[in-house]
């Protein structure tokens, strides 16, 4: 599948993969900063953003998409960064194609299985009748009945757009994501590992990477480092962007 990709800057290639229900737009501000030293590829994964939709939605397919992207753009020896779902894609890509990347950055996700835990969000999104919605405020008000947290709603509402007939629609493939949400939690295969340099960045307030996960990380990623960003939850790069960059940049720049 051809993935929609924004390319910024020049230099060492840096591929960034967003998380579930996100898009390349989530990384645009940090991408511009990174583009001062790197050629940054901001990717919309399948069923997200401006990339194509497909009934096939699992990490093997997302890894195939990434390989195709690298081949199409003739990208040599990139650094791959992935947040949450994007981190799972990046980990599997590294495990299967270690020769295609220089190093790996995984943001707030571990290589273990995660049970489905987005049911409330999905219920809220699926409850909205976009065909009858007349404004973004109306959609947000309906979403607030299920999701009180404003920051979460703002994140989700970035997916809302108007079609040519002026009706609203979601950028993400909500039916497939709802049906196959368990795919997002799949664990890293036990028969794989990645021996290259790897940095895991977790949020201090997040429970996605626990103390117990540190053992699993060291097993599959023997050169893995783990850094914690203070006062950050799961969306580390959005909640504490400066602190996130202070952790990320030294790892990117080291030989």
Average confidence (pLDDT) over 125-138? 94
Domains of the chain, start order? 5-113+186-253 (3.40.50.1820), 119-181 (no CATH)
Average confidence (pLDDT) over 129-137? 93
| Measured CA distances, 19 to 23, 106, 107, 236 (Å) | 7, 11, 9, 12
Band (75; pLDDT cuts 50, 70, 90): very high
Q: Is a pLDDT exceeding 90 seen at residue 179?
A: yes
Average pLDDT along the chain:
97
Average confidence (pLDDT) over 70-78? 98
**234 and 108 Cβ atoms separated by less than 8 Å:** yes
User: What pLDDT is attached to residue 255?
Assistant: 79
Average confidence (pLDDT) over 150-169? 95
Average confidence (pLDDT) over 148-157? 94
**58 and 177 Cβ atoms separated by less than 8 Å:** no
* pLDDT tens for each residue of 195-215: 999 999 999 999 999 999 999
Choose among 134, 113, 106, 118: nearest CA to 237: 106
User: What pLDDT is attached to residue 72?
Assistant: 97
Average confidence (pLDDT) over 110-135? 94
* pLDDT tens for each residue of 43-52: 999 999 999 9
Count of other CB atoms within 10 angstroms of residue 163 = 9
Average confidence (pLDDT) over 220-239? 97
Report H helices in the chain: 28-34, 59-72, 85-96, 119-127, 136-144, 150-157, 174-179, 211-220, 236-239, 241-253
Average confidence (pLDDT) over 158-175? 96
User: What pLDDT is attached to residue 39?
Assistant: 98
Dihedrals φ, ψ of 167, to 5°? -80, 160
* pLDDT tens for each residue of 8-36: 999 999 999 999 999 999 999 999 999 99
Average confidence (pLDDT) over 101-110? 98
């Amino acid at each position: 599948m051809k993935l929609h990709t924004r390319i910024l800057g020049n230099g060492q290639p840096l591929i960034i993969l967003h998380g579930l229900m996100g898009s390349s737009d989530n990384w645009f501000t940090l991408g511009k900063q990174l583009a001062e030293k790197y050629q940054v590829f901001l990717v919309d994964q399948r069923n997200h953003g401006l990339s194509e939709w497909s009934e096939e939605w699992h990490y093997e397919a997302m890894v195939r998409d990434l390989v195709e992207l690298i081949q199409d753009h003739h990208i040599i020896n990139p650094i791959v960064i992935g947040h949450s779902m994007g981190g799972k894609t990046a980990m599997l890509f590294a495990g299967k194609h270690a020769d295609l990347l220089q190093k790996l950055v995984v943001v707030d996700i571990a290589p273990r299985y995660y049970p489905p835990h987005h049911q409330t969000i999905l219920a809220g999104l699926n409850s909205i009748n976009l065909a009858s919605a007349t404004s973004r405020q109306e959609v947000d008000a309906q979403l607030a009945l299920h999701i009180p947290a404003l920051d979460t709603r703002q994140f989700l509402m970035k997916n809302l757009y108007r079609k040519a007939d002026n009706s609203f629609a979601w950028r993400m493939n909500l039916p497939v994501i709802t049906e196959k949400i368990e795919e997002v939690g799949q664990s890293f295969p036990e028969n794989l590992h990645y021996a290259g340099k790897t940095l895991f960045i977790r949020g201090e307030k997040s429970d996605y990477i626990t103390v117990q996960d540190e053992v699993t990380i060291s097993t599959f990623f023997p050169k893995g480092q783990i850094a914690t960003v203070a006062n950050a939850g799961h969306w580390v790069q959005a909640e504490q962007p400066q602190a996130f960059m202070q952790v990320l940049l030294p790892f990117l720049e080291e030989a």
